[in-house]
Amino acid sequence: MNILLNQTWDTPFEIPPFDQVGDDDYLPAFEIALEQDFQEAKAVADQSSAPTFENTIEALMATGRALDRVLSVFYAVSGAHTNPKREEISRVFSPRLAAHSSRIYAIEALFERIDTVYQQRDTLDLSQEQHRVLTLVHQNWVRAGAGLRGTAAERVKVIKERLATLGTDFSQNVLADERNWYMSLKDQDLEGLPDFLIRAARATGQEKGEDGPVITTSRSLIMPFLQFSPRRDLRKLALEAWSNRGARGGDTDNRAIAAETIALRHEMAQLLGYENFAEYKLETEMAKTTENVRALLMQVWEPAKAQALKDEKILTEMMRQDGIEGPLMPWDWRYYSEKRRQLEHDLDEEQIKPYFQLEPMIEAAFDCAHRLFGLEFRQLDIPLYHPDCKAWEVTKGGDHIAVFIGDYFARDSKRSGAWCSAIRSQSQYPEHQSPIVVNVCNFAKDDPALLSADDVRTLFHEFGHALHQILSNVRYEMVSGTSVPRDFVELPSQLYEHWAMLPDVMQKYARHAETGQAIPQDMLDRLIGAETYDMGFATVEFIASAMVDLEYHQGPMVGDIMDRQKEILATIGLPASIEMRHATPHFLHVFSGGYYASAYYSYMWAEVMDADAFAAFEETQNAFDPNIAQSLYDNILSRGGAEDPEHLYTKFRGRMPEVSALLKGRGLAA
């Protein structure tokens, strides 16, 4: 018997038996689970009894459990610890899943039952959550093309399968480019680099089979190199390698993939009755329209760009003092900005990082969750998918509520970035199910592992997503945890970042790796004072990416995609000294799948709320105020997508926030 198909696993809390699952198990289990899911859906459709919420919507919620288990295990492993076999399985899974989805949406009798229940919704005695689930199920089927027939239906099916293949190829190409490029450093190239970076570069060199240190396109290596290396020529090489991921020609080039993806999305949206893909995508988000998104981005763009241009003049003058003529270039910005940060805020990264050890920072994130929500964490000794992973049981009031897995270190088998995923989501139907949640990061592995202040915020950010999953308390998995609109999903994560640098938290957990002394108050004050430092740059590079994403999806792709990117950036006036955060060929948020397509803006939309939400705690002069924490739990963290997000936020705060909260939080207010 294939262990992936077992209805239960004889493991603590039914954690997947990673040590018993081999790569050869996935495809056979996938094939069986696919067919089982289809037959379960067809059984719902073939009932002779009149459609009701229970025998149609709830019955549909109970289908596909075996498929969910197979996929959740596979994608947890393949995203964080891939190999050629798993990459090949991904290439098989993606189009097959798209075809399977289309096959189910094509069951006309099933959609007729769903539509019948939906048309009767106001006469049914449904709870608020049931009403929401019914609305979302019906909307999903309509948006999937369930109402289409003939050629149009067949074409949408073909497009979805092709998009799934393109997304997988795009992601694997970026990973291949990240894995294959590195720059070897000689002893003279190490001048100016802090010890933590040299140690990490030497360790990476050993992994690559090199005699000396190397810099790769892992963010934990390349960003500090760009900050600290006085070698302008090497900074240029490093940044170009970072910027050109997915655009180096050959088999891993993503430019044609991105162009085809945009064209297919536009065609699909029009077949489904929308003017363009952005209109299709934003229909289900809080923003609703491209006009609302553009208005938000441009409201922030102007003050951010003005600040960035002021900063550019200062950094250019610093460069002149080094005897370098010509304009400030993108490979110069981080280097001179770091020198300026040290001058203005007296912050030396090499002096700061020893206070931010990974293990205590994990404890700090846990402790904040305990003080806010009463959570307790007990480490588990269980086999996981990689030796670097750790797992904890999460309890509340003595009761088990979740398992949390942390996978924190960069490696060649892991894609870049940081993310949160659920191997199992919370639900109460068809049976009680506690969540298994994974945080994946890409911190440099060292002994001890030291983080930057930005790394600490990343750790808290992803744990904020994890709390959204861990604290979910809904009936249906469909609306559990982070199953919310894209521009609401980042609220809990970005909000939790506010606890990362609280003085009483840092005084307890930010202790020097060698001396054990708490971080000096004046250093912490300087760190907090510098939180909005260089925010013009950070905001400009983000909005540039968000605008390119939005404009790409306004219509069909005409001409060369990189020319189109250049045209969009010229229209908004991106300074030549700043690059967009994610250039098209490696814009994984947008092209590795459709989740953030036409919705990369959502981080900023959520930031408007998170700045305002933390102000609720500040107004009580207690960042751990129990009443505000309870309201946050009751109205947002426990509710997932069970209600409209605007309604949830208004219940928490009494109103929706203004953009002024974001501008103030970023230090960009006039």
The C-alpha atoms of residue 50 and residue 45 are separated, in whole angstroms, by 11
What's the token pair of residue 288?
């609703």
Q: Please tell me the total count of domains within the chain.
A: 3
- Kindly state whether residue 590 falls inside one of the protein's structural domains: no
CATH (domain of 485): 1.10.1370.40
The C-alpha atoms of residue 497 and residue 299 are separated, in whole angstroms, by 24
State the chain's mean pLDDT as an integer. 96
Q: Is the pLDDT of residue 273 over 80?
A: yes
Which amino acid is residue 453, in one-letter code? A
Q: What angle do CA 464, 588, 418 make, to 5 degrees?
A: 30
- Kindly state whether residue 623 falls inside one of the protein's structural domains: no
What's the token pair of residue 600?
């990369």
Whether residue 462 lies in the annotated active site: yes
Residues 6+ apart with CB under 8 A from 453: 352, 356, 501, 527
Phi, psi torsion values for 394, nearest 5 degrees: -110, 125
The C-alpha atoms of residue 639 and residue 636 are separated, in whole angstroms, by 5
Phi, psi torsion values for 407, nearest 5 degrees: -130, 95
Q: State which residues form the domain around 19.
A: 3-147
CATH (domain of 35): 1.20.1050.40
> What's residue 363's pLDDT?
98
Tell me if 450 sits within 8 A of 513, measured CB to CB: yes
For residues 513 and 410, state if they share a domain: yes
> What's residue 249's pLDDT?
96
DSSP state of 476: B
For residues 41 and 89, state if they share a domain: yes
For residue 566, what are the CA distances in angstroms to 119, 242, 535, 540, 562? 47, 18, 23, 15, 6
Count the neighbouring beta carbons within 10 Å of the beta carbon of residue 431.
8
Q: Is the pLDDT of residue 670 over 80?
A: no
For residue 79, what are the CA distances in angstroms to 74, 92, 527, 559? 8, 15, 33, 33
For residues 81 and 216, state if they share a domain: no
Residue carrying structure tokens 């396109």: 217
- Kindly state whether residue 614 falls inside one of the protein's structural domains: no
Tell me if 517 sits within 8 A of 505, measured CB to CB: no
Residue carrying structure tokens 């539509």: 115
For residues 374 and 489, state if they share a domain: yes
What's the token pair of residue 197?
């970076």
Q: Is the pLDDT of residue 548 over 90?
A: yes
DSSP state of 645: H
Per cent of the chain over pLDDT 70 is 100
pLDDT in tens, 50-80: 999 999 999 999 999 999 999 999 999 999 9
pLDDT in tens, 567-613: 999 999 999 999 999 999 999 999 999 899 999 999 999 999 999 99
Count the neighbouring beta carbons within 10 Å of the beta carbon of residue 12.
13
For residue 247, what pLDDT band results from cuts at 50, 70 and 90?
very high
The C-alpha atoms of residue 530 and residue 540 are separated, in whole angstroms, by 18
Sign of the dihedral through C-alpha 575, 581, 585, 589: negative
Phi, psi torsion values for 450, nearest 5 degrees: -110, 140
For residues 102 and 195, state if they share a domain: no
The C-alpha atoms of residue 333 and residue 319 are separated, in whole angstroms, by 10
- Kindly state whether residue 95 falls inside one of the protein's structural domains: yes
For residue 349, what pLDDT band results from cuts at 50, 70 and 90?
confident
> What's residue 34's pLDDT?
97
For residue 272, what are the CA distances in angstroms to 143, 147, 153, 265, 275? 7, 9, 9, 11, 9
Tell me if 463 sits within 8 A of 575, measured CB to CB: no
The C-alpha atoms of residue 88 and residue 382 are separated, in whole angstroms, by 28
Q: Which of left, alpha, beta for 652 (phi over 0: left; psi -120 to 50: alpha)? A: alpha
Residues 6+ apart with CB under 8 A from 246: 170, 173, 174, 177, 252, 253, 254, 255, 584, 585, 586
For residues 371 and 426, state if they share a domain: yes
For residue 154, what pLDDT band results from cuts at 50, 70 and 90?
very high
For residue 669, what pLDDT band results from cuts at 50, 70 and 90?
confident
By C-alpha distance, which of 527, 509, 581, 502 is closest to 549?
581
pLDDT in tens, 287-335: 999 999 999 999 999 999 999 999 999 999 999 999 999 999 999 999 9
- Kindly state whether residue 311 falls inside one of the protein's structural domains: no
Which amino acid is residue 556, in one-letter code? P
Domain boundary among 525, 546, 578: 525
Find the helix or strand (DSSP H, E) in which 585 lies.
none
The C-alpha atoms of residue 601 and residue 547 are separated, in whole angstroms, by 8
Global pTM value: 0.94
The C-alpha atoms of residue 234 and residue 190 are separated, in whole angstroms, by 11
* Residues facing residue 419 across a β-bridge: 440
For residues 14 and 137, state if they share a domain: yes
- Kindly state whether residue 543 falls inside one of the protein's structural domains: no
Domain boundary among 210, 228, 245: 245
For residues 143 and 197, state if they share a domain: no
For residue 564, what pLDDT band results from cuts at 50, 70 and 90?
very high
The C-alpha atoms of residue 271 and residue 163 are separated, in whole angstroms, by 15
- Kindly state whether residue 233 falls inside one of the protein's structural domains: yes
Which amino acid is residue 407, in one-letter code? D
For residues 9 and 142, state if they share a domain: yes
pLDDT in tens, 600-654: 999 999 999 999 999 999 999 999 999 999 999 999 999 999 999 999 999 999 9
Considering the candidates 40, 285, 462, 607, report the single residue annotated as catalytic: 462
> What's residue 646's pLDDT?
96
Arithmetic mean of pLDDT, 241-256: 97
For residues 210 and 136, state if they share a domain: no
By C-alpha distance, which of 6, 10, 13, 2 is closest to 423?
13
For residues 480 and 428, state if they share a domain: yes
- Kindly state whether residue 638 falls inside one of the protein's structural domains: no
The C-alpha atoms of residue 451 and residue 361 are separated, in whole angstroms, by 9
* Counts of helices then strands in the chain (DSSP H, E): 27, 7
Residue carrying structure tokens 């037959």: 39
The C-alpha atoms of residue 500 and residue 490 are separated, in whole angstroms, by 16
Q: Is the pLDDT of residue 480 over 80?
A: yes
Tell me if 668 sits within 8 A of 300, measured CB to CB: yes
Sign of the dihedral through C-alpha 200, 201, 206, 207: positive
Q: Is the pLDDT of residue 1 over 90?
A: no
For residues 91 and 230, state if they share a domain: no
Domain boundary among 478, 500, 525: 525
What's the token pair of residue 348?
């030396």
> What's residue 148's pLDDT?
92
The C-alpha atoms of residue 481 and residue 141 are separated, in whole angstroms, by 22
The C-alpha atoms of residue 73 and residue 65 are separated, in whole angstroms, by 13
The C-alpha atoms of residue 522 and residue 526 are separated, in whole angstroms, by 6
Residue carrying structure tokens 């069970």: 642
Q: Is the pLDDT of residue 125 over 90?
A: yes
Arithmetic mean of pLDDT, 482-496: 97
Contacts of the segment 69-72: beta carbons below 8 A, 24+ positions apart: 69/4, 69/5, 69/16, 69/33, 70/4, 70/5, 70/26, 70/29, 70/30, 70/33, 71/30, 71/97, 72/16, 72/422, 72/423, 72/424
For residue 557, what pLDDT band results from cuts at 50, 70 and 90?
confident
pLDDT in tens, 466-478: 999 999 999 999 9
Tell me if 347 sits within 8 A of 551, measured CB to CB: no
pLDDT in tens, 506-537: 999 999 999 999 999 999 999 999 999 999 99
